Amino acid sequence: MNNGKYREWLVTSFAAAASLFVLVPIAFIVFGSFKTPAEVTKLELSLPSLWQWENYSIVFEEGKMLSGLLNSAFVTSSTVLLVLLAGSMASFIIARSRARWVAGIYLLFVAGLIAPPSLIPTIKIMQVLGLANEYVGIILYYAANYFPFVIFLMTGFVRAIPRALDEAAFVDGAKGQRLFFRVIFPLMTPILATAAIFVFMLVWNDFQGPLYLLNDSSKWTIPLSVFNFVSRYGTQWQYVFSDLIIAMLPVLLVYLAAQRFIIEGMTAGSVKG
């Protein structure tokens, strides 16, 4: 075995061993969610003797998981669409403009990555504007939080797109919105997918925002539904594990469906086109 193949084998072996730190806990939770109360208390990594599918039906009924899933889906998808649409257009203006004031605005967005959001003023503003305990309020809250990240991510990508495409489209009569949506926007698919995945996971898994901004339990998202369920059934691990599986499954499916865009989108803006 030459040095190249030995290093490749060593890296592969290390990666396989490291993956066990992730796969073993997941397998433990998945198997535990189908076990009986007596089996799950043994805390063993083993297949259930009899698969208890009714654990999931109990979780859906008692934990109000369907309501939490629908609320999270609405809030998350609305936030993603708003952030991607507004962020892509703003990034195009920032990347193409040579005005100093535009550069200053970009620096303000970058500063937003550093400054953490302050909840007390946010809650007060929501109350004054009548957005407290409303879907619109929390969607705007999330959009404001993740807009700087999306701007920073997309601006580098757009700068890598040659200006010659803009000039050629301009000669053909494409201007303004038509130039952006017909020429630039389709080229941004990798970075749009990357930003969508990150924003989706951040919003879907966020606990703090709904906790302070949504007082109505009928509007609670998945993290609050899980928290409420675990506080009631914390000693019945088969139900807790089923609840956790339901909560993390949408994120896992979205990530697996679009994972090929992540590396492409993160690296595309690093090379000047």
Q: What pLDDT, in 10s, does the model give residues 152-182?
A: 989 988 988 888 887 787 777 777 788 888 8
Mean pLDDT of 129-145: 91
Residue 142 has pLDDT above 60, yes or no: yes
Question: Which tokens belong to 207?
Answer: 């606990």
Secondary structure of 114-160 in the HEC alphabet? HCCCCHHHHHHHHHHHCCCCCHHHHHHHHHHHHHHHHHHHHHHHHHC
* Cα separation, 210 vs 223, whole angstroms: 8
Q: 28-77, pLDDT tens digit by residue? A: 888 888 988 888 888 788 888 888 888 888 888 877 788 889 999 999 99
Residue 183 in 3-state DSSP? helix
* Ramachandran angles phi, psi of 91, nearest 5°: -65, -35
Q: Give residue 199's identity as a one-letter amino acid code.
A: V
35: DSSP letter:
S
Residue 270 has pLDDT above 60, yes or no: no
217: DSSP letter:
G
* Cα separation, 251 vs 166, whole angstroms: 36
pTM of the model: 0.83
Residue 199 has pLDDT above 90, yes or no: yes
Mean pLDDT of 191-207: 90
Whether 25 and 244 have beta carbons less than 8 Å apart is answered as: no
Q: How confident is the model at residue 272 (pLDDT cuts 50, 70, 90)?
A: very low
pLDDT at residue 251, rounded to an integer: 84
Question: Which tokens belong to 220?
Answer: 């609670």
Q: Mind listing the domains of the chain with CATH numbers?
A: 3-54 (no CATH), 59-268 (1.10.3720.10)
Q: How confident is the model at residue 4 (pLDDT cuts 50, 70, 90)?
A: low
Question: Which tokens belong to 85?
Answer: 């649409």
Whether 58 and 239 have beta carbons less than 8 Å apart is answered as: yes
Which residue reads 């109360």 in tokens?
Answer: 37
Closest CA to 264 of 193, 207, 175: 193
Question: Which tokens belong to 62?
Answer: 């008692």
If you count them, how many residues does the chain have? 273
Question: Which tokens belong to 23?
Answer: 């796969």
